[in-house]
Amino acid sequence: MAFVVTDNCIQCKYTDCVEVCPVDCFHEGPNFLVIDPNECIDCALCVPECPAQAIFAEDDLPASELKFIQINNELSKKWPVITHSKDPLPEAAEWDGKPNKLPHLKR
């Protein structure tokens, strides 16, 4: 099992999550973060850090978010590691909570 970043991170990217990860398994794209499932140790420390509540244990994923298992796996191989938080995206507050942001994902 691993933890998974889901839809509500897209266009928000608050990055609070990366500060607490003991194994540096977050990877950063233009408007989304993903977790490398091969590095995640399932500590759950990142879950309460996310202001957008976008991180779930794989076993707790709502049905609508199951597609993010494959997306985290694929993009973590492509994107660089991020280990320190930075400013959220400028329109994070407006995007937080909007449904179905996947079409906005920039790869």
Residues of the shown chain interacting with ligand SF4 in the complex, contacts defined by CB under 6 A = 3, 20-21, 23, 25, 35, 40-46
Residue 101 near ligand F3S by CB under 6 A: no
CB of 35 to ligand F3S, least distance (A): 9
| Residue numbers 26-85 binding ligand F3S by CB under 6 A | 33, 49-50, 52, 54-55
Element at 74 (helix H, strand E): helix 67-76
Question: Looking at beta carbons only, is 12 or 21 nearer to ligand SF4?
Answer: 21
Burial annotation 89-104 (CB, 10 A radius, 16+ → b, else e): beebeebbeeeebeee
Question: Among residues 13, 27, 34, 68, which is the contact residue for ligand F3S, using CB under 6 A?
Answer: 13
CA gap 4, 65 in Å, rounded:
9
Residues that bind ligand F3S (CB under 6 A): 5, 9, 12-17, 33, 49-50, 52, 54-55
